[in-house]
Amino acid sequence: MWHAKYIAVDWGTTNRRAWLIDSSGSVESEFKDHLGLMSVPKGGFDSAAADIRKQLGDYPMLLAGMVGSDRGWRQAGYVPCPADAALLAASILWVEPMRTGIIPGVCQTEGHADVMRGEEVQVLGAQAIASLSPNAIICHPGTHCKWIHLQNGRISRFQTAMTGEIFDLLKTHSILAAQMSDDVMYNASFQQGLKDARDGAPLLNALFAVRARYLLQAAPPADASYASGLLIGNDVMAGLMQAASGSHVTLIGRPDLCHLYARAIAASGCTSSFVDGGAAFRAGIDSIIRQLGE
Amino acid sequence: MWHAKYIAVDWGTTNRRAWLIDSSGSVESEFKDHLGLMSVPKGGFDSAAADIRKQLGDYPMLLAGMVGSDRGWRQAGYVPCPADAALLAASILWVEPMRTGIIPGVCQTEGHADVMRGEEVQVLGAQAIASLSPNAIICHPGTHCKWIHLQNGRISRFQTAMTGEIFDLLKTHSILAAQMSDDVMYNASFQQGLKDARDGAPLLNALFAVRARYLLQAAPPADASYASGLLIGNDVMAGLMQAASGSHVTLIGRPDLCHLYARAIAASGCTSSFVDGGAAFRAGIDSIIRQLGE
């Protein structure tokens, strides 16, 4: 049945996005709304899922993202590394057999403990779209930035940095908030933050300098950009710590954020390219469906 | 007049503490209340200051701390490094000449920008109480942890880490909050955090592992202690980065917090001792008064 039309759903904490894919693999229709997990009332997932079919038609449906977490519709668990499309397809949680399925996340238990949920589908898709090397490095910036290493075409290890969340906490709740009202840009302040990170300035100290510069009247007017450069600089250094110099990184995610990461990656002597998150998600679902057979 | 009784006031953001010192240098009476800056209404500082004399008597009064900041009673400015009791005494902002004075903070403009306000008085006091070496290293843990280096008995340079504030943000507002409900103790989790810091685990990544361990059901029940160990471990490594191995650190501040820092300092191969914050403040005010002359 998966050779005919189907629905692909990326259902996260604050948003959901769904596409109806036709038998040629093209998008026939789509929608995006704010009915993320936080907006679904308790016990409301059955009808929230039924609503997707009301909008796109009564077709088979595969879902991924936080919808499969402990706060989502059903717990789809995690598959361990090394993970690929075949393992994810074999581990789908079927809400209705072969008709409505939730793709599991991926976990890492060797080395440091880590988890992802949703990004694994985009990684599979980027492999297909961008003809990635079987040993590619993929970076997915965001609230929790993921650095994912492929080995022989499978997700072999990954690490998550709380970069976006720490930035948001500082901007919203910290003593630095008043100095972080600017929109983050790749400007001189961002570059100074990157430089301080690369020069090894301790993160906890470099952040306080934002406050001190303000009090001493020497504050540049763009300290959200500075803090972002500092945090992204630290994130990229950790992400590339074990990578060969001159490595290539495939970025997936928000274009504005990927642009900032691209500059930080370039400052580390590596190269990067960009894959659109929605296209990667659809291609990843397609990869998994190809594993389902008849 | 300063040879007779006087009042010393440590007036911070959330609390204030005042002592009446008799002519022999002993505490005759004291009080502590929650009338910190945040609790004083606009235009209310004159009467809030008069209230101190109502409680302790009509004596000369020296104040220090955030009361001299842009959000305080009057802006007492900053003196630059190198700073000592003579410079601070000469730079007092007199609300009433030689009767009511606010001690300035200290700033650093060479190297990274940094500021302190209140800790400088405690540093002077610790020098007197603990017979510090003229080149001592002093650590003042807290929301914004200060590492202060003396050279020839003067405050020559210092750095501030946002350790306590980042910990509070994580515990209060972050995705890790639910896993950080334990009271921080020097336990196995704290020790693991220290070890991860010393092993060079990137801070932004090691913090996310708290979340991952919880989701993978391998979470120890004490992740506030883990996060504290990780943050304090990073703070102490940065604080001692330029210190000779085996250096001695004088800790000033809350005993519970100083205890945790003492363990982290010991793990770095250095030694530490502890000076009570209130005693250090009084001794620091005394050092400044000795510079005022008749």
Does any domain span residue B267?
yes
Which residues of A fall within a CB distance of 8 Å from B70? Answer: 215
If phi > 0 it is left, if psi is from -120 to 50 it is alpha, else beta; for residue B82 that is: beta
pLDDT value at residue B33: 95
For residue A4, pLDDT beyond 90: no
Instruction: Give the type of residue at B264.
Output: A
Does the pLDDT value for residue A201 go beyond 90? yes
DSSP 8-state code for residue B134: T
Percent of chain A with pLDDT over 70: 98
Does residue B220 carry a pLDDT above 70?
Answer: no
Structural domain contains residue A50: no
A16-30, A216-230, B31-45: lowest mean pLDDT where? A216-230
Q: How many CB atoms lie within 10 A of CB B130?
A: 18
Domain contains B130:
yes
> What per-residue string of b and e applies to A118-134 under the rule 16 or more CB within 10 Å gives b?
bbbbbbbbbbbbbebee
Q: Which of A162, A167, A175, A237 would best serve as a mutation to test chain B binding (most B beta carbons within 10 A)?
A: A162
Alpha helices for chain B (secondary structure H): 45-56, 85-90, 119-129, 163-173, 188-198, 203-215, 223-239, 255-267, 277-289
**Distance to chain B for A56, nearest Cα, Å:** 33
B120-160 pLDDT tens trace:
999 999 999 998 999 999 999 999 999 999 999 999 999 99
Using a CB–CB cutoff of 8 Å, tell me whether B242 touches chain A: no
Asked if residue B10 has pLDDT above 60, the reply is yes
Spell out which residues of chain B touch residue A211, defining contact as CB-CB under 8 Å: 115
pLDDT for position B136: 96
| Mean pLDDT score, B30-40 | 94
Please state, for a pLDDT cut of 90, what percent of chain A lies above it. Answer: 89
| For range B24-42, the mean pLDDT | 94
What pLDDT score was predicted for residue A220? 66
Hey, are the CB atoms on B112 and A165 less than 8 Å from each other? Answer: no
Q: Average the pLDDT over B100-104 and give the result.
A: 98
B219 band by pLDDT with thresholds 50, 70 and 90: low
Residue A248 counted as domain residue: yes
Rounded average pLDDT over A66-90: 96
B282-291 per-position pLDDT tens digit: 999 999 999 9
CA distance A17 to A37: 12
Distance CA A160, CA A151 (A): 18
Nearest partner of A116 among A102, A104, A126, A106, judged by Cα: A106
| Prediction ipTM score | 0.91
**pLDDT, average across residues B72-86:** 97
User: Is residue B196 in a domain?
Assistant: yes
Contact state of B173 with A174 under an 8 Å Cβ cutoff: no
Q: How far is A162 from chain B (nearest CA, A)?
A: 5
Judge: B160–A208 Cβ closer than 8 Å, yes or no. Answer: yes
List the one residue out of B274, B205, B198 whose CA is nearest residue B237: B198
Number of domains into which chain B is organized = 1
Taking contacts as CB-CB distances below 8 angstroms, the residues of chain A near B208 are 114, 144, 160-162
Residue B121: what pLDDT? 98
Q: What is the mean pLDDT of residues A210-225?
A: 84
**Mean model confidence pLDDT for chain A:** 94
- Let me know: does B37 contact B11? Beta carbons within 8 Å: yes
Asked whether residue A284 carries a pLDDT value surpassing 70, the answer given is yes
Instruction: Determine the average pLDDT of the residues in A56-68.
Output: 97
Which has the higher per-residue pLDDT, A134 or B218?
A134
Residue of B115, B116, B171, B204 to mutate, interface with A, max A Cβ within 10 Å: B204
**What is the rounded average pLDDT of the residues B86-109?**
97
- Quote the minimal CA–CA distance from A176 to chain B in Å: 10
pLDDT at A111: 86
B128 lies in a domain? Answer: yes
Taking CB atoms and an 8 Å limit, are A208 and B241 in contact across chains?
no
Contact B112 A161 (CB under 8 A): no
What b-and-e string marks burial along B143-168, b requiring 16 or more CB atoms within 10 Å of the CB?
ebbbbbbbeebbbbbbbbbbbbbbbe
What's the CATH number where B177 sits?
3.30.420.310
Shortest CA distance from B144: residue in chain A: A208
Contact B17, B10 (CB under 8 A): yes
Q: In this model, does residue A163 exceed pLDDT 80? A: yes
Cis, peptide link before residue B82, omega less than 30° from 0:
yes
Task: Tell whether A189 is covered by a domain.
Answer: yes
Taking CA–CA distances from B240, the nearest residue in chain A reads A202
Domain that holds residue A287: 112-294
- A134 pLDDT higher than 60: yes
Section B195-223 average pLDDT: 89
Binary contact (B205, A238; C-beta < 8 A): yes
Nearest C-alpha of chain A: how many angstroms from B207? 7
In this predicted structure, the answer to whether residue A166 has a pLDDT above a threshold of 80 is: yes
In a domain, B225, yes or no: yes
DSSP code at position B28: E
- Asked if the model's pLDDT at residue A42 lies above 60, the reply is yes
Mean pLDDT of B105-134: 94
Count of alpha carbons within 13 Å of A271, Cβ hemisphere only? 5
Query: B92 pLDDT exceeds 70?
Result: yes
The residue-averaged pLDDT of B194-218 equals: 93
Confidence of residue A217 (pLDDT cuts 50, 70, 90): confident
* Residue B159 confidence (pLDDT): 97
Question: Above 80 in pLDDT, residue A234?
Answer: yes
**pLDDT reported for residue A2:** 73
pLDDT, average across residues A76-105 = 97
A216·B241 Cβ contact <8 A: no
Q: What are phi and psi of B161, to 5 degrees?
A: -115, 140
Residue of A nearest to B211 (CA): A114
The percent of residues above 90 in pLDDT, for chain B, comes to 89
Please tell me which of the candidates B159, B174, B216 has its beta carbon nearest to residue A205. B159
Residue A58: pLDDT band by 50, 70, 90 thresholds? very high
Which residue among A165, A218, A237 sits closest to B113, beta carbon to beta carbon? A218
pLDDT digits (tens, 9 = 90+) for B256-284: 999 999 999 999 999 999 999 999 999 99
Q: What is the pLDDT of residue A43?
A: 92
